[in-house]
Amino acid sequence: MISWQIAAWILLGGSTVLLFLGLPVAFTFLVINLVGAMLWLGGEPGLVQLARNSVQSVTSFSLTPIPLFVLMGEVLFHTGLAVKVIDGIERMISQVPGRLAVVAVVAGTVFSAISGSTIATTAMLGSLMVPVMLSRGYHPTMATGPIMAIGAVDMLIPPSALTVLLGSLSGISISKLLIGGVMPGLILSAMFVIYIVVRVKLDPDLAPPSELEEYRGWEKLRPFVQYVLPLVSIFVIVIASMSAGWATPTESAAIGALATVVLALAYRALTVSKLVAALSGTVGISGMILFIIVGATTFSQILSFSGASSGLVSLITGQGFPPMAVIAGMMLVLILLGIFVDQVSMMLITLPIFMPIVQAFGIDLVWFGVMFLICMQLGLLLPPHGLLLMTMKGVSPPQVRMIHIFQAVVPYVVMSIVVLALVFFAPAVALWLPQVLG
């Protein structure tokens, strides 16, 4: 009989080592699950059970919003409507210190409300706006930092595929989790704008003022009314339909995806080739996520069957630590993990252990889930392996070096930690909106 301690070392330790060695997430958990099935599920019958569990894990109706949310973002980017949104926002923002950086943050916040992909938002804004900012004399840190930071906020503001994934893997209400991330996300966006304005006021060389083409009257408002408001209305419809109980998260995602396609058709921006490209991108991203879910769900089951889950939970809850201290320790673990592994790996490694402890302590699951999202958002920005740092380097001109990107992201990481602490000490920041919207 294998003790739960050895089981924990084999399953958790083995998966962590394989991830650190660079094996893709899905294959890491496939290897560990095969070992676990042989050791704890009875050999060959265990492998049959493994296959059966895998099929059941991806036929869950709660996962349907993932491809629909991804499709919204893919249609937006392949049709070029994203560029129209930037133009509409740029005309509305008058001359302020670091104006283009402020435009990037505001535009990124709007994209967060109509796109489910952090990488797509960062890549699109980076490729469009970084060359323009550099040509106008912006320092590389001021050109890249705001775009990476607001790209990470995409995870907090719905629609977000990773939020749906977190909710489905953890058992937290997906609709409440989606709505709970809105306030922290908007607070972060506001903090970024304030930081940019103050920083450039103190050091104008970071973002020299440039000639601003002045628009008057309707010409100033036209792109905003024509493109930004209709696209933001999709976000309002998705949130309203969920919070009012008119539609499930899946139905709300379907409404959002349909509205995005209809708008793209109305603007005559959606051709057959662009629709095929958007659908191909959606299939690729969704397939990867669903493949990971197969491994994650089965891993949790084997971890529980081996006794490792209950053993670890009993060990931690039996130490007599206050629940808040345990939660703070969990957040620290997530931040440290974010330095080394991607967001999905963070979920797969920690959720099977964290969720039973959180439930044992009677902690509010939505509050915990929102803090988990902020920690994952931090992981996107943490050097040296943050996914958005690599994305920004990939789309930036050659004069932007990796050291610039590392320097650029530091103040935004600090602000994200401040918001994490704010949610920790004032849970209402995350819970107020889900409660108000019912």
Mean pLDDT computed over 384-410:
85
Confidence of residue 420 (pLDDT cuts 50, 70, 90): very high
Contact 19, 28 (CB under 8 A): yes
Q: What is the pLDDT of residues 136-172, one digit of tens each?
A: 899 999 999 999 999 888 888 887 878 888 888 888 9
Which of 51-65, 218-232, 255-269 has the highest mean predicted lDDT (pLDDT)? 255-269
Confidence of residue 196 (pLDDT cuts 50, 70, 90): very high
Burial track 160-199 (b if 16+ CB lie within 10 A, e otherwise): bbbbbbbbbbbebbbbbbbbbbbbbbbbbbebbbebbbeb
Burial track 230-247 (b if 16+ CB lie within 10 A, e otherwise): ebbebbebbbebbbeeeb
Residue 294 has pLDDT above 80, yes or no: no
| Least confident among 140-154, 157-171, 289-303, 334-348 | 289-303
Rounded to 10°, the helix 272-305/343-361 angle is: 50
- What pLDDT does residue 102 have? 92
Tokens 């620290």 found at: 332
The CA–CA distances, whole Å, from 97 to 93, 94, 133, 205 equal 11, 10, 13, 11
Q: What is the pLDDT of residues 12-69, one digit of tens each?
A: 788 778 877 777 767 787 888 888 888 877 777 777 777 777 777 666 666 778 788 8
More reliable by pLDDT, 4 or 192 = 192
Q: Could you say which DSSP state residue 12 is in?
A: I
Q: Which two tokens stand for residue 264?
A: 């793209």
Q: What is the mean pLDDT of the chain?
A: 84
Q: What is the pLDDT of residues 80-129, one digit of tens each?
A: 887 788 888 888 887 788 888 999 999 888 887 777 667 777 887 888 88
| Least confident among 331-340, 395-404, 426-435 | 331-340
Dihedral over Cα of 282, 143, 93, 158: its sign? positive
Interior angle at CA 97, CA 96 and CA 99, nearest 5: 65
The CA–CA distances, whole Å, from 291 to 39, 69, 233, 431 equal 23, 17, 32, 32
Confidence of residue 241 (pLDDT cuts 50, 70, 90): confident
Q: What is the pTM of this model?
A: 0.80
Confidence of residue 331 (pLDDT cuts 50, 70, 90): very high
Tokens 């607070």 found at: 187
Query: For residue 93, which phi and psi values (nearest 5 degrees)?
Result: -100, 115
